[in-house]
Each structure stands twice: as structure tokens, then as C-alpha cells.
Chains A and B, each alone.
Chain A
Amino acid sequence: MDKNKPTVAVYKFSSCDGCQLSLLNMEDELLNLADAVDLAYFIEASRATKPGPYDIALVEGSVTTPHEVERIKEIRQEAKFLIALGTCATAGGVQALRNFADAGEYAKIVYDHPEYLNYLPTATPISEHVKVDLELWGCPVNKAQVIEVVVALLNNRKPNLPTYSVCLQCKRRGTICVLVDKGIPCLGPATIAGCGALCPASGRGCYGCFGPFRDANVPALTEALQKVERYPGETMRLYRGISGNAPLFVKAADAILSTGTDTRKETK
């Protein structure tokens, strides 16, 4: 990284803008961030842009159109360090549900003239198209993690990001396990920490938006969750959520569907 202020570019692909909004929503830290780096390209914040190349590119969203396939390659060429920002960029996001269905059927339902659309049959993470230097998961990303990564890059060190499950963050904040105590299906035991255990602390199960940790034992979690399902097929649907296209969760949902342990079938 240059000794001068590093330049930062923020890009949007197919997404809800929530991760970019998380950046703008940093409040206390935003001015410090603007001091520490040169926000050279951030359309959602300012129309004023500076030309690349950039030291850091933050990319929000997944790749869902032929145009985006080309655009991400151009962005990669202009970026020294590329960060995939949020679960759309790291796993495909909620729009990747189309990967398990026929996108054309969806288009017909939603649009009067689907023939004008030019889209891909799948929504895919940035890493399927270009080399990604770092992934920050979450729907949306956690602002403390964004700051940690920027600080780490500014100081030439490895960012300190969790390697453990959401459960550890639940315990650190004194939250009682919703899965054991309340029988609420929770993906926390397989999901990597980073959110601060936001959902369990609010009395609901984790829906896995930060994605699975590296060697999460998803099959064992399936067994535990199927015992507490509140409606048939809940476990399968939980995997097929925000991080549904993350490989370990794809495998888990597929396993439920293929082995006939999908509890939806039992009620038919």
C-alpha cells in the first residue's frame, strides 16, 4: 500500500445497496474513514469521481447479467486489492435462489415483457469471475469488520476476522442458546461469527447470512435442526436462504432433498 492516502472505489453489482448503505451509515467513523483513505469512486456517496487504478475496490452485489461479467473483469484490472463486500458478492445473495429454479419462470411472473431482460440463469459470487483478495460476508456486512480490514490494509497486517461460529459470540454477550432453550432452528453452530450474534440476541435463530465457517459440520447440524422444525421442510429452507448458494449450504439442502429426509414429504 502506498504511503500516500490509498484510493478506494466502491462498486455495485446486483444487490439491494444495503452494504454500501452500511458504509454510509458508519456515522462516527465515516469522517475518520474519509480522512484515512481517498474515497475516489463511490457513486452512492458522491457524483465526483476520480479515475483509476485504485488501491482498494469494494464490490457489492452478485453477477447476474452478461454485462456484469464483463464489468467485473474491468474493475479487477483497475484494482490492486479487491474485496467482495457482503453475501451477494461472496455467495450470490438471495437472488441466487434462482440457481435452484428456472429464472425464466420467475421473469415471466414478475415482468410484463421479460423479452426485454438480458440476464444470466444464475447469480454468482464475484470469486467465480475474478480473483478476490478478501471476502467480507454478511447481509449486510458488519461495519466493525469493514473498518478492521481497512485499518489492517493501512498498517500492512492481516485483518483480525473470526474463524469460529456464531455460538461463541452468543456466549460472549450472555445470550442463551435459542436452539436448546427455545427449540428455535438456528444456523449459528455452522455459521461464521462476525455479526455479534445479532439475531439470537433478539430471540430468533441465525439465518446464516455470514455463511458457513470453513469446516462447519453441516450434516450434524441438519440432524439437530430437523428435530426442532416448526413446519415441515424448515431446515432445508433455512439453508436455502441468504447464503443458500454457499457451497456447504447447497450441499446440505441438496442432501435433505435427495435423501428423502426432507420433512415436507412426510406430511404429503
Chain B
Amino acid sequence: MPNDHKPEIGSTIVIQKETFNAILSRLKEKGYETIGPRVKNDTLIYAPIEQMDDLPRGYITEQDAARFHLKHTGHSRYFDAIPGAQSWKQFLFPPRAELFALRKVNNLWEASTPETKTPSYAFIGVRACELAAIQIQDNIFMRSDFNDPIYRARRERVFILTVDCMYPAGTCFCVSMETGPRVKAGFDLNLTELEDVFLLTVGSEIARDLLKGIPFELASAFLLRNADQGLERAASQMGRKLDISNLPDLILNNLDHPHWQEVGARCLSCTNCTQVCPTCFCWDATDEMSLDGKETHRERVWDSCFNPGYSYQAGGNTRPTIRSRYRQWLSHKLGTWKQQNGTLGCVGCGRCITWCPAEIDLTKEIPMLQEEAR
């Protein structure tokens, strides 16, 4: 095979697993900061990775309502551990970002924007649900009538390597939300991990160039069938499911349903669900002023509709109770989001279920509205 041979877009190639290190090196040579799943403090986070050994090989995650457990089973695969609390959101929509600074010079205010270099990230191991979440946030931050410069600059530079999910966790329900477990479109490279080899599907010209000269073969029908079978098995092993056939109407027609009160009594209003949600995008802008009053920095920070102060405005709080805040969240996520953006705001990743300390599980709450409605 000639050394400058490149696979075609849309083709699926097979590489030896150790070859993946060369791909990581090339991404770094091209100036990307490679980010992927890593084990830290006995849990799973997204952080810079240098080589394959940094990936959570041999780990799985056990997930249920209010329960997350990273477990080492000693298997030989790199991408079996379903993600934890963190999502890619933190890289494209950073939890804190300085917007501008004002300085008083000769009694006049001078504004300046921070001179920060926009990072070029290569996301290694984006799940199908997570890619769907990024696409949903694209609709929020890069609209035709409005676009967020911080998000846009990062998003346009990002390289996305997706991974098909072979072993979903207990709180996964991407099949119900029609986002996974198979990655469909919107990636640079999609990786399917089989026992001995990686299959890579090429999704962009950048990925083609990246693979130039890397030894590969086109995936055989046998391997492709192996992958299909794995994905079919994964689809049948979802830990949760949700009937979305009558959403958003079910929610919007039941805004005074007594079940909201019942959930409100259990909800901590702690904001965890919204912070771990890969599509939630609410933020606040805060000013930090120097003691001499001559300098102030405005920062954008993650906020949440569960923050009692979030809905406070002149005259009072429009959502003064936990019931009203929970209803706002769910009726937006699985209701009015559709009218706003054309899709529901949930991708079925299950984070809000796993990371709710009070074990509130939207796949159980929504059927409660359904039961009564019938």
C-alpha cells in the first residue's frame, strides 16, 4: 500500500489498536489538545490524554439513580466505561469565561476583551448521545440570528472522534431518544471498538488527512457484522427507556398535574441535574470589582433554573417554589425546547438520573403524567 494512501470519506477501515497512538500523536502535531476519558481520584473525568494508556482500559461504570461506581474488571477494551458526570460541554461552553474588563483611566471607562488563545480540542471518545448534545447546543449558541463568539470559536476548531457504545450503563436511554448507541453523523472519525481491533469510519477531510500513511485495511464484511451485532446488543441493553411518542404535548397539557408537587417535595433544587446535563446552557454574568472601584471584570458562569435567584426579577421570583423550578426544567427539556429549537432537549445520556442525590428519574416521572392522562 502506498505511504500517502488515504481512506475515502464514508469508508470504514480497520486498524490495530496500538496504531491509535500514532493518531493521537498526529492530532497533537497538528496543534490539537487531545481530551478524553481518564481515571482520576477513582472516578471518570474528561481531561488531557497523551497516549492510549491514559484511557480507562479495563474499566466499566455501574450507574443507577444517585449511584456511580467506576469498576475495574480487567477486560482489555479502552472505551467500555460509560462517561461520568462531566460532559464535553465544559470545553465548548466553559463553566467560567471572562467576557470583558473595564478600567477607569482619567475618569473614563476603557473596555477590553481578554486576549486568550482559543484552544483547539480533539475530543477522543464522544458518545452518540454526547454528539447529539453538542449538536443541540450548536442550535443554541450558533443560531442564524445570534451566535456566541466563545462557543463558536471553540466549536469551529474542534476535532471530534466519536465512539460507538457497546456496553450501555444502567441509566442510559439513548435508544428511546433516538440518539444512539450508534453514532450517525457529525464526526470527524468514528471509532468502533472490537475485541482485537478498532474500526474507524472517516467523516471529514481533516480526518482523511490525519490518516495519511497510517497502515490500514478496509473493514471486512465480517468485522462490520461484528460491529453491527455489538450495537444491536447494546441497543437491547438500555438501562432505562422513555416513551416520547406523546411529547411535548403530554407535559404541556399537564402543567397543573399533582405529580409536579410530588416531585417538588423530593427535589433538592441543588442544580446537579442541570449542571451535568450536556444540553443545559443557562448562565449568569457577574461582575468582580476592585476595592478602589477602578477596575471590574465581567465573567460568564454556569447557572441553573434550580437556583432560586435565577428567576428573581423586579417584583419577585417567577418560580418561587421547588415544584415550579422542577416543572420549568422538565417542561423545557422535554416540552417547549421542541418549539424553540425543533428537537427535544434530552439525548438520553442518563446523567441527570445518575447524579441526582435524591434519585429523581425523569424516565419514571414522565410516565406518572402519562398514567393520569390516559
State yes or no: do A and B come from one complex. Answer: yes
Q: Could you tell me how many residues of chain B have their Cβ less than 8 Å away from some Cβ of chain A?
A: 48
- The A contact surface, by secondary structure, is helix
Least Cβ–Cβ distance between A105 and chain B, in angstroms: 36
* Residue positions of A touching B, CB distance < 8 A: 29, 32-33, 35-36, 147-148, 150-151, 154-155, 160, 162-165, 167-168, 171-174, 176-177, 179-182, 188-190, 203, 213-217, 220-221, 223-224, 227
**Residue from the list A33, A147, A155, A224 in contact with B358, Cβ < 8 A:** A224
Residues of A near B302 (CB, < 8 A) are 168, 171-172
**Residue from the list A174, A215, A221 in contact with B308, Cβ < 8 A:** A215
Residues of B near A174 (CB, < 8 A) are 45, 86, 90, 95
Residues of B near A29 (CB, < 8 A) are 291
**Residue from the list A171, A203, A221 in contact with B275, Cβ < 8 A:** A171
Q: Which listed segment binds A: B10-18, B210-218, B233-241, B265-273?
A: B265-273
* Residue positions of B touching A, CB distance < 8 A: 41-43, 45, 66-68, 84-86, 90, 95-96, 265-272, 275-276, 286-293, 301-304, 306-310, 312, 321-322, 354-355, 357-359
A224 to B85, CA, bound (A): 18
B358 & A164 in contact (Cβ 8 Å cutoff): no
**Residue from the list A151, A162, A217, A224 in contact with B322, Cβ < 8 A:** A217
Least Cβ–Cβ distance between A175 and chain B, in angstroms: 9
- The B contact surface, by secondary structure, is loop
Residues of B near A213 (CB, < 8 A) are 308
A2 to B30, CA, bound (A): 59
A214 to B304, CA, bound (A): 16
A117 to B306, CA, bound (A): 48
A223 to B356, CA, bound (A): 13
A227 to B356, CA, bound (A): 14
Least Cβ–Cβ distance between B309 and chain A, in angstroms: 3
Which 4 pairs, one residue from A and one from B, show the smallest C-beta to C-beta distance? A163-B309, A171-B275, A189-B270, A164-B307
B358 & A154 in contact (Cβ 8 Å cutoff): no
A164 to B275, CA, bound (A): 12
